[in-house]
Amino acid sequence: MKCFVLGALVVTIAAGMASAANAKIALGRGCGTVSGGGKAWQVIAVAVPCADARVLVRKLVPKVPASGVVALGTYSTLHCTGAVTAGKRGIMCASVSGKLVEAFAK
């Protein structure tokens, strides 16, 4: 069930990005890692400066649940969700304008 919810969330975010991009392909760029919660989080950003993406991830890491999926809030038009499934933790933030920040840790 958790995998289904996380998969549905990723598909929804991707669909929103595709419509917002107006036929342009938005490629994520690696923004390095952020340490938090005893883990190293890989950060990826689209249309958000890497420095801002890393600050946002640092702020959200303590809010990621121990299991399941939870809304983490809205930050600068980015709607953020945290999830844990199959031993992996993730943060996904997206806006209708095509901005995206993702972070993942094992």
Identify which has the larger pLDDT, 13 or 78: 78
**Proportion of the chain in helix, strand, coil states, percent, rounded to 5:** 30, 40, 25
Mean residue pLDDT across the chain? 81
Residue 10 has pLDDT above 70, yes or no: no
Query: Whole domain around residue 88: which residue ranges?
Result: 2-105
What pLDDT shows up at residue 21? Answer: 47
How far is residue 100's CA from residue 86's CA, in Å, rounded to a whole number? Answer: 23
Number of domains in the chain: 1
